[in-house]
Amino acid sequence: MPSCLFFCTINIRTNIRGERKLAKKKTKFVCSGCGYESAKWMGRCPGCGEWNKMVEEVEVIAKGPRGAFQHSATVTQKAIPIIQVEASEESRVATEMGELNRVLGGGIVPGSLVLIGGDPGIGKSTLLLQVSALLSNKGHRVLYISGEESIRQTKLRAERLGVISQELYIYSETNLEFLNQTIEEVQPKFVIVDSIQTVFHPEVTSAPGSVSQVRECTAELMRIAKTKGIAIFLVGHVTKEGQIAGPRILEHMVDTVLYFEGERHHNHRILRSQKNRFGSTNEIAIFEMLQGGLKEVLNPSELFLQERSQGAAGSTIVASMEGTRPILVEIQSLVTPTSFNYPKRMATGVDQNRVQLLMAVLEKRMGLMLQAQDAYIKVAGGVKLDEPAIDLAVLTSIVSSFKDQAVRATDCFVGEVGLTGEVRRVSRIEQRVIEAAKLGFKRVFIPTSNIGGWDFPQGIEIIGVETIKDALNACFREL
């Protein structure tokens, strides 16, 4: 055999072996909670500290960088002083759904990536299909991509909701490459992907919904949104703990994270903002689920108080602030003697640790023996309250049930309670009192430090209290 042919054969084999070596697949273990990667399985993730979150996936060497935001080759970015940057307001597209505009910060920002999560059947697809109809009726082209339903199923649901528009396009596909091609063809202004857990990247060998798939698909959709100026809505599944399924980095990648909450036994739904780069995260939107779809609730206080029991012990009303809007909500308490050594403390809609703290204040400052009492506290209507201004209402509700004495049905309570029993100042007291006056309340208990500097509404009595003893003595006959 000639020497040249011999060396040529060796080189060919070497190249072939090299190609096979590059094509060799490797396995890795990825945490489904935070996305931490490891070469071996571990019971506890070093990144987030969660147990049994490591899942096995196949690692594939990409042909090139994908998913990352690519700048144009003709544009060079340079660092400049911040005073030279021209500030401009983000142009928004306002829908005819005022509650959604409130949560988004005034409307939809072009080029934004919005993630909406919620329990199965809560109404995420219904909400986005109604939003698609409102946008398309205003002349905006909308592409609704469904990975869980066929085109006919989406059409039947659209007919039930009365969604008919020439500018609304429906597409059923889960392959990310085909989705990208369809977006290039349709050239929409808004895109809805239902859901992100069903979309898969063909270059990633793991199953749809895995950590790698969700991360890569979201990164590619983010690139499309930023480079083309398309507002994209993603529907995300949630785990049994109520968090969005997939890696935690998913919520960091998007611009806005919305949670659609509600109970199956109630018709109302709450859309809450957990993250918003273009607005406040304190706003909520309230809807009512009807046969024809979701309907906005313009006055949520009437909705939460319409089934209130008059003259019931353990029931109080608090004026809570949700973003820029005051909402009146009923707090119910049930305090009953226990036959066990350790009494129960259960709370729904309010932090249980805060309930235990307030009960300890009552025992220390008011001398109420609550150590042998079970306490159950609930916020009626399925609302979750987390601001300090609800302390006085929760505390009064507990005492009302313990003494079996009902407070006046026209009383409202606002105030933060300290560990020494003082009632502290709260924010936006004027808006809270005005909302209580609109709904027919006659007395409002507020901190004394909040009195002054504003005009009281007519027909309502303002009672300033400095301590919880002042408030309880004004409510109950004897303590």
- Binding positions for ATP are 118-125
Binding-site members are 118-125
Rounded to 5 degrees, φ, ψ at 321 are -100, 125
Q: Are 436 and 412 in contact (CB under 8 A)?
A: yes
Long-range pairs for 431-434: beta carbons < 8 A, 24 or more residues apart: 431/321, 431/326, 432/319, 432/321, 432/326, 432/389, 433/319, 433/457, 433/460, 433/462, 434/326
Strands (E) across 302-410 are located at 315-322, 325-337, 345-348, 373-379
Question: CA 200 to CA 182: how far, in whole Å?
Answer: 15
Q: What are the helix (H) ranges across 287-390?
A: 300-305, 352-366
- One-letter amino acid identity for 435? E
Buried b or exposed e, range 333-357, using 16+ CB within 10 angstroms? bbbeeeeeeebebebebbeeebbee
CA distances from 377 to 262, 393, 411, 416 (A): 19, 11, 19, 17
Q: Are 57 and 212 in contact (CB under 8 A)?
A: yes
- One-letter amino acid identity for 338? T
| Token pair recorded at residue 50 | 């969660």
| Token pair recorded at residue 92 | 């928004």
